[in-house]
Amino acid sequence: MMESRETIIERAEEAVLHTYNRYPLVLDRGEGVYLYDTDGKQYLDFAAGIAVQALGYHYPGYDEALKDQIDKLLHTSNLYYNLPVMEAAQKLVKASGMSRVFFTNSGTEAVEGAIKTARKYAWLKDGKTDHEIIAMNHSFHGRSMGALAVTGNEAYQAPFRPLIGGIRFADFNDLDSVRAQINDRTCGIILETVQGEGGIYPASEEFLKGVRALCEEHDILLILDEIQCGMGRTGSMFAWQEYGVMPNVMTCAKALGSGVPVGAFVLDEKTAGASLAPGDHGTTYGGNPFVCAAVSRVFDLFEENNLVEHVREVGAYLEQRLDELVKSFEFLEERRGKGLMQGLALQGRDAGEIVAKAQEQGLLVITAGGNVLRLVPPLVIEKAHVDEMIEKLTAAF
């Protein structure tokens, strides 16, 4: 017999370091776009493990790829070649139109790799070691020391200083503020194409094109963090593809493996040929055959099932339904987002409290910075699931 929810939570708190204030929910299994807790209660999942479970749970064809790979080979290290890593890398290159991939175990590691790439690129040009990176206020890039250094959040940074040096901050969607931080030491500009954690703010076209042009002008690398907004979530495979720009470095993670821990940083042709070289970077696990078998199958399933097209269709419907909600509830200030990455900004009601109320109704949603309700469902949801979410969220309100 399974232990009670209370006992499991109590025992978890005795053994797991308390770095999260967790909701009192013990999740047990998933099916489609629903999760079930240990008491058998069903939840419609509009959180997707923080934008990870793009395919939901047990999507046809996904589990089989993992099971087959378990039976063959889990891990080899990066000292040798293997088939899944080659296939996963080729598919990521094809989907992005970029040139070379380095697989990591997480998003924060992908950001570390991107930072090292920018530093090495500049070092090869002038041999100096004082290069700077420009990052955005209210950004989120991860919790390791380099990624934290470019994360524009005082509360996250304060106890851990000194972080890596040479980071300057500018305002998102304010080109002049970026321009003001550029000098002859600048080697990279990092930003999320759609800010996630910071409150769901898409980059304006003018801003992103302007930053791209500044990077050209000064031979600076543009690093776009697509860890949350990438992999089809906004209605194109990568969010920057809608803007007609290409980064020099892109970071991926979250939905890349749709449930297995994997990330990547991807370089364009120019950067791949003039940055990291043998000996400069490495990882024991990163991109092992197991996770790459998942990545490879994820790309196949996206293509076979036209998932990006599906996101555009369901995303438009989600936007329409959320806009109706904003009209009917005074405390809903505005909707922001693209496709299946949406935020509802609240005023006078606490987002965390509504998340808890939604759980009572059998709906999982999460929060984002600045009192925002964040909706990042599996990309495979149907319009009927949007209707069900609206009904449950309305009850929670």
- Of 46, 57, 59, 140, the residue at the interface with ligand PLP (CB under 6 A) is 140
- Of 56, 84, 113, 142, the residue at the interface with ligand PLP (CB under 6 A) is 142
- Shortest Cβ 13–ligand PLP spacing (Å): 22
Work out whether 287 is an interface residue with ligand PLP (CB under 6 A): no
Question: In three state form, how does the secondary structure of 276-321 look?
Answer: CCCCCCCCCCCCCHHHHHHHHHHHHHHHHCCHHHHHHHHHHHHHHH
As a whole number of angstroms, the distance between CA 333 and CA 177 comes to: 26
- Of 170, 227, 344, 368, the residue at the interface with ligand PLP (CB under 6 A) is 227
Give residue 314's Cα distance to chain centre. Answer: 20
Work out whether 256 is an interface residue with ligand PLP (CB under 6 A): no
CA-based R_g, the chain, Å: 21
Work out whether 112 is an interface residue with ligand PLP (CB under 6 A): no
Q: Which is nearer to ligand PLP, 91 or 254 (CB)?
A: 254
Nearest Cα neighbor of 200 from 364, 371, 368, 390 is 368
Q: Which is nearer to ligand PLP, 84 or 196 (CB)?
A: 196
Work out whether 247 is an interface residue with ligand PLP (CB under 6 A): no
Q: Which is nearer to ligand PLP, 69 or 106 (CB)?
A: 106
| Identity at 133, one-letter amino acid code | I
| Identity at 211, one-letter amino acid code | V
Pairing of strands 341-346, 332-338: antiparallel
Q: Which is nearer to ligand PLP, 45 or 225 (CB)?
A: 225
Residue whose beta carbon is closest to ligand PLP: 107
As a whole number of angstroms, the distance between CA 290 and CA 70 comes to: 7
Could you tell me how many residues of this chain bind ligand PLP (CB under 6 A)? 15
Nearest Cα neighbor of 262 from 270, 274, 254, 273 is 254
Work out whether 34 is an interface residue with ligand PLP (CB under 6 A): no
Residues that bind ligand PLP (CB under 6 A): 106-108, 111, 140-142, 192, 196-197, 225, 227-228, 253-254
